[in-house]
Structure 1
Amino acid sequence: MRKRLALLVAAAMSLVLIAFLVPMAILLRSVTADRAVTTATAKAQSLTSLIATADAQTVQAAVDQLNAMAGYPVTVFLPDSTVVGASSARTPGVQLAELQGSIIVAEAGGREILVAVEGLAQGTAVVRVFVSQAELTRGLGSAWLVLAVLGLVLLALGVVVADRLARSVVRPVHELAAVSHGLASGNLDARARPSGPAEVRAVAAALNHLAARIRELIRQEREAVADISHRLRTPLTVLRLDAESLDDPGAAERITGHAEALEREISAIIQQARDRDSGPGACDAAEVVAERARFWSVLAQDQDRHATVDIPPGPVPVAVGRTELAACLDALLGNIFAHTPEKASFGISLSVPAGGGALLVVEDTGPGFTVEAPVSRGTSGAGSTGLGLDIARRTARASGGTFTVAQAHPHGARIVLQLGPPGS
């Protein structure tokens, strides 16, 4: 934009300068030629009174004196065919001046200034002053050079001023773009500094208002999530009290443990909703996957499902918080238990790729599903909320990784999450 504005001003100024300087150059050429002609005419007219009153010798002396001075060659054609002064043939212009009077004749090499001296006893004398083309244009080249330099200086000044003005417009636009990118990356504190033209300042004010509104809406959403999660604690407390009142101590302990685990998850959801402004978390993927695999293995035994778990021994750091990764794995495993028949086996594998991070694969031997359409939040063909796969997708992408849905061989579903390393 800055370059385009400078080019636009340069083009407009070039047209204006051409429209001004070309007529000025033509006028200078005309003025220079008229000045030379006027000087030559005055030189010729200075001899008319002398020719009318003096003899030939006096005229000869006066003409020689004029020719000795720097200037134009002067020739006097007397009525008796005597030629005084610079050598010159009796041109058609001289003959015409003898008949019609003083004239100016243009020739290829310059102009003839012909002044007729009438009233002599023997006829009409003609004073011829020849002005060459070089004399007609003397000093014109320097004048044109001055005009050209002046035009270039004005053009350069115009481009510099246009560039400064364009910069004052473009800089606020770049700042607006930087603020918008900051908001898109999650920096809700980014604000634009109103500057530049009134229109740009209006856009900056609107962007700041939008950023403030986005922050307020996100705050309200997080508080609503926290409030909804907090409201679940009351029925959980009732459930725990009912579990404690059971006659079977084993069943009471088991149900109470589940209720406490659910309460911890709700507390984690509340904390996560309120701490969303913090940077990306990190955890040991091997530890989290092993813990969630042990949790789901109890239910797998109840449903007679064969589970395969392959986890490397060492720590596997990833750019995902512990709670987020656990929720992601619970969503994927929950889908398996909810949408595959009992006794359908599943597998969990965790590996470390060459670039760091982790490669988490969850697959099953269920009926599978088509993957022609991308995973869409809230959309499910199995009657569920459609949030499980979207949670996994957002977890992978938040870590800087990828999320892939594929068909397992020979049937079933295969979910692949590539989780980025911390600091990615």
Structure 2
Amino acid sequence: MRAVITRALLLATGLVALVFVATAGFLTYAHAAATAAEADRRDTAVVTGVLAVSADPDAVRGTIARTAAGAEGRLSVVLPDGTRLGAGRGTQVASVEGAVVSVVPAAVSFPFLPLLLVLGAAVPAVGAAVWLGHRPFTPVLAALRDLTTSVGRRVRLRGPRELEVLAESIDAASSRTAQLRAKEREMIADVSHRLRTPLAALRLDADAIGPGQVADRIRSAVSTLGHDVDRIIQSLQPSDDEAATCDVAAVVEARMAFWSAHAADQGRLCEIDVGEPCWVPLAPDALGAVVDTLLENVFRHTPPAAPVGVSVVRHAGWVTLVVEDGGTGVADPSSALHRGSSGGGSTGLGLDIARAAAEATGGTIHLERGRLGGARVRLRFGEADSHHEPASPRAWRLWQGHP
């Protein structure tokens, strides 16, 4: 902001200084021209005064020689008999007793020295004007600094009324956001708690089915769902473990054990390539929820025979998780990447959960066309203990529907 103000002041004062210097130069030149013209008029008056008394060529010639214009060869007199006295052949300026007086206007040079003096005075004046011009903006800049350092607390400003109103609006928006987040957490906690009763009934029914491959998968799915509900409830509680890390490769392998079996039941080709261990600053449960969310989207919104691929790549301080499918792609990429909006009949929270996890590590989410022909979700996580710059800008590239 200070740089913007400085540029504006420099532009304004520079234009004023330019007009001032140009005006001073014009006035100085006009003054010099007027002075030269006045001197020529005086010389002409002297010569015409002599001609009024006597037309003697010697007297007139001597008078011409004593004038400045005559000494410079710019003044001449033509006597009634046609005799020309003096070297100048200029414009007629007077006629006395049949004699004609003419003078060549003096050449006036541009006054560079006075102009340089004016310019030398204008430069420090511009500097002083810029310095003084910053003073009225000091309260504004101080208020803006307070705004930039007020994240997570109420804004108390003492400055221009407009900025005070802005601070009040920011406080009101922050309070409203906090209320909405608290309401959302309460709703999630309430829904999760209510799910425990039907989950308990499902667990009893699964145990009553007896042995078998299908029964084992049902029990595994019910157990996973119960674990997810417990994890949601636990995530709503304040946590002091902000240094949690996890191995992306290990978490993906663990979760794909379940999803691979599900893919086999549907006859769906499932490609998995996790590579070497790579650690990111996320809790294992949080990353597991991201993997489950992305795979659930694939299984819900693509045909059973559509292939699915999951890969993990570590490179240059980033860990990239890619989930792609052979479906029809994303019909509305803009809606798919906005919280609570979905064109597929779902809650619209899946990709937003993945985006939040990636951005929590300084990374990004990208939605594009994959090599299998459908959508590809590419999550880039900042690697743990890697001092790299955050992704800039934090934005996602939309899937355009073209290869």
Structure 1 length-normalised TM: 0.55
Structure 1 counterpart of 2:166: 206
* CA displacement at 1:408 relative to structure 2: 4.5
* CA displacement at 1:285 relative to structure 2: 0.4
User: CA RMSD for the aligned pairs?
Assistant: 5.4
Q: Distance in 2 between matches of 1:277 and 1:215?
A: 24
Structure 2 counterpart of 1:369: 328
User: Which stretches in structure 2 are left out of the alignment for 5+ residues?
Assistant: 40-45, 56-65, 72-110, 389-403
Q: Distance in 2 between matches of 1:327 and 1:389?
A: 11
Q: Distance in 1 between matches of 2:34 and 2:375?
A: 92
Query: Residue deviations 1:104-145, cap 9 Å, x none?
Result: x975169xxxxxxxxxxxxxxxxxxxxxxxxxxxxxx9xx85
Counterpart amino acid of residue 236 in structure 1: R
Structure 2 counterpart of 1:228: 188
1:283·1:319 contact (CA, 8 Å) conserved in 2?
A: yes
* CA displacement at 1:289 relative to structure 2: 0.7
Identify which of 119, 138, 162 aligns with 2:130.
162
Query: Residue deviations 1:141-195, cap 9 Å, x none?
Result: 9xx85x9747743662354123431475389469749956x8xxxx833787857
Q: How does 1:145-160 map to 2 (within 5 A)?
A: 149=117, 152-153=120-121, 156-160=124-128
Distance 1:8 1:277, change over 3 A: farther
* CA displacement at 1:330 relative to structure 2: 0.9
2:280·2:382 contact (CA, 8 Å) conserved in 1?
A: yes
* CA displacement at 1:231 relative to structure 2: 3.8
Structure 2 counterpart of 1:237: 197
User: Which stretches in structure 1 are left out of the alignment for 5+ residues?
Assistant: 37-89, 100-104, 111-140
1:236·1:259 contact (CA, 8 Å) conserved in 2?
A: no
1:6 partnered with 2:16 = no
Q: Secondary structure at the match of 2:342?
A: coil
Q: Secondary structure at the match of 2:383?
A: coil
Counterpart amino acid of residue 296 in structure 1: W
Identify which of 275, 289, 312 aligns with 1:327.
289
Q: Distance in 2 between matches of 1:278 and 1:17?
A: 67
Counterpart amino acid of residue 309 in structure 1: I
Q: Secondary structure at the match of 1:362?
A: strand
Q: Distance in 2 between matches of 1:242 and 1:7?
A: 75
Sequence identity percentage: 27
Counterpart amino acid of residue 291 in structure 1: A
1:388 partnered with 2:388 = no
Q: Distance in 2 between matches of 1:189 and 1:259?
A: 40
1:293 partnered with 2:256 = yes
Distance 1:374 1:345, change over 3 A: closer
1:188·1:215 contact (CA, 8 Å) conserved in 2?
A: no
Q: Distance in 2 between matches of 1:17 and 1:195?
A: 41
Q: Distance in 2 between matches of 1:14 and 1:363?
A: 63
Q: Secondary structure at the match of 1:417?
A: strand
Q: Distance in 2 between matches of 1:240 and 1:389?
A: 29
Distance 1:239 1:271, change over 3 A: closer
Identify which of 295, 309, 320 aligns with 1:359.
320
Structure 2 length-normalised TM: 0.58
Q: How does 1:73-112 map to 2 (within 5 A)?
A: 93-94=49-50, 96=52, 107-108=68-69
2:332·2:343 contact (CA, 8 Å) conserved in 1?
A: no
Identify which of 258, 274, 277 aligns with 1:315.
277
2:335·2:342 contact (CA, 8 Å) conserved in 1?
A: yes
Number of aligned positions between the proteins: 325
* CA displacement at 1:370 relative to structure 2: 3.7
Structure 1 counterpart of 2:81: none
Counterpart amino acid of residue 248 in structure 2: A
Q: Distance in 1 between matches of 2:306 and 2:266?
A: 10
Counterpart amino acid of residue 152 in structure 2: D
